Structure 1
Amino acid sequence: MSNDLLPIGRFARLCRLSVKQLRHYDDLGLLAPAWVDPSSGYRYYRPEQARDALMIGMLRELDVPLPAVARVLAGQGAAALRDARDRLEADVARRRRALRLLDRVLADGLPETVVSVVEEPARRVRVASEAATPASIAAATGACVARLLAAAEGPPSLVGLFPLDMADEFEVRVALESPSGEDVLPGGPFAQALHTGPYEEIALTVHGVLAWFGDRAHAPAGPVREVYLNDPGSTPPERLETRVLIRLEDVR
């Protein structure tokens, strides 16, 4: 063992990390000790490793995920940090939308949702899909819409398709009604409500429709359909209208 090696406790204090953190980073392959005592398993570090350890600690304080930290240590710093920044920015935008929604609920309470049962015909469509997370759902939906509009024939009729249960990762789909479409949106009985207002507040209307299902012990079937009735480019957000549809699985 070299005399310039530092035991893990002293190295941890030097780098403002805990011994537990250093062990975890070793297990992940982020920061391996310079030497491990084969008889005791005790870890030792070189002083020059402190720079990497401090970098890891700083990036973790900034909520940079560990895979991105590994890329920084591997010399891919600029690209990894840009990706981490984009994720944080998307998360901040999502939280701001949530705050606006919460402010509305605090001011007005949950909206009264008028729900009716309609029979929807089957529709032939073209479908675009994107992987999404709760933080990126708006961007993923926008990307799907852009692809479909580029190939639209005449005035577009767009339907957003979203899972009933949104996990950490899920698929967003948008359908464009088209006689030449290769996919079919199935018809049948649907619970329907009209949402008026910004797209970011549609969750309130979806909640109202699902509450209607619960009150009547009906079984909902996904995906949630959002039929966009206005052009967001020329309609103020507060006047946008969207049909929210959820299929009644146990009604024929």
Structure 2
Amino acid sequence: MDEELLPIGRFARLCRLSVKRLRHYDEIGLLRPARVDAASGYRYYRREQARDAFVIGLLRSLDVPLPVVARVLEGEAADALRQARDRMEAELARRRRALAALDRVLAEGLPAPRVELCDEPARRVRTVRDLATPESVAAVTSACVARALDGPPPGLMAGLFPLDMRDEFPVTVAVEDPAGTEVLDGGRFAAAVHLGPYEQIPLTVHAVLAWCGEHGFTPVGPVREVYLDDPASVPAEALATRIMVEVAER
């Protein structure tokens, strides 16, 4: 056997990786052994492969996903790591928002806003639409609002979101405009006012949906967030947003 080759056990100790991990990296094509014994299936590695093994170990210790690690080993380090960092930063922001919402629940208890039924008229509107994910919904909504404001002074402004916001979903911002070319349907809605930051609106949405279930109403439409304040002049803790969910007759 070539003396430059190290059996998998020695290579694992050299690179501070487990044999199990090296086998897995071979199976997914991330770090192939230099030689595999045809009879025993035993894996052997060259010493030069230690650098790639250490890169894998380092990046995995930083929670970099394996597909990104593969791109780094293929020479795409700058773009791959920048994208991984952006995703991690977005996830960190999401967790911070979740932590703030949890702190609010701990301080105030589970949300129990006053929910009431109301009949909403149809309105002529202009709309701005885009696609979002759970991680990007705040940024996408803000961008849609900015685009919607680039026009005549708005009347009522509402964000429309699907009841199920998993994977990718549409976001719509509708601005009341007598000259608008679209119609925002009216109907019967369960409604409550959310007080506080926009990122904590899901607390009130869940309370409205729970009220619907308790009173035998079936939600049939998207969630409407009617923005009652200007966030540029009202502190986040004092922002008022009317949450509306269209319901079917019992």
* TM-score normalised over the length of structure 2: 0.89
Alpha-carbon distance between aligned partners in 2 of 1:19 and 1:143, rounded to the nearest angstrom:
48
Q: What's the secondary structure of 1:234's corresponding residue?
A: coil
1:176 to partner: Cα distance: 2.5
Q: Which residue of 2 aligns with 1:144?
A: 144
Whether contact under 8 Å (1:127, 1:183) holds in the other structure is no
Q: Which moved more, 1:120-129 or 1:73-82?
A: 120-129
Task: Find the partner of 1:170 among 151, 168, 171.
Answer: 168
Q: What one-letter code is carried by the residue in structure 2 that aligns with 1:38?
A: A
Q: What's the secondary structure of 1:195's corresponding residue?
A: strand
Q: Which residue of 2 aligns with 1:158?
A: 157
Does the alignment pair 1:18 with 2:3? no
1:7 to 1:145, Cα distance in 2 relative to 1, 3 A: farther
1:12 to 1:209, Cα distance in 2 relative to 1, 3 A: same
Report % sequence identity: 61
Alpha-carbon distance between aligned partners in 1 of 2:28 and 2:182, rounded to the nearest angstrom:
44
1:181 to partner: Cα distance: 4.9
Whether contact under 8 Å (2:141, 2:173) holds in the other structure is no
Q: Which residue of 2 aligns with 1:127?
A: 128
Does the alignment pair 1:51 with 2:54? no
1:209 to partner: Cα distance: 0.3
Alpha-carbon distance between aligned partners in 2 of 1:146 and 1:66, rounded to the nearest angstrom:
37
* Cα deviation digits, residues 12-47 of structure 1 (max 9, x gap): 222222222222222322212212222333222111
Does the alignment pair 1:237 with 2:236? yes
Structure 2, unmatched stretches of 5+, are none
Equivalenced residue count is 248
Q: What's the secondary structure of 1:224's corresponding residue?
A: strand
Q: Which residue of 2 aligns with 1:207?
A: 206
Q: What's the secondary structure of 2:149's corresponding residue?
A: helix
1:88 to partner: Cα distance: 1.4
Does the alignment pair 1:246 with 2:249? no
* TM-score normalised over the length of structure 1: 0.88
Whether contact under 8 Å (1:160, 1:174) holds in the other structure is yes
Alpha-carbon distance between aligned partners in 2 of 1:237 and 1:224, rounded to the nearest angstrom:
21
Structure 1, unmatched stretches of 5+, are none
The root-mean-square deviation of aligned C-alpha atoms, in Å, is 2.1
* Cα deviation digits, residues 76-118 of structure 1 (max 9, x gap): 2122212111211121121111111111111111232111112
* Cα deviation digits, residues 36-86 of structure 1 (max 9, x gap): 222333222111111111111111111112222122112121222121112
Q: What's the secondary structure of 2:245's corresponding residue?
A: strand
1:172 to partner: Cα distance: 4.4
Q: Which residue of 2 aligns with 1:70?
A: 70
Q: Which residue of 1 aligns with 2:110?
A: 110
Alpha-carbon distance between aligned partners in 1 of 2:114 and 2:54, rounded to the nearest angstrom:
56
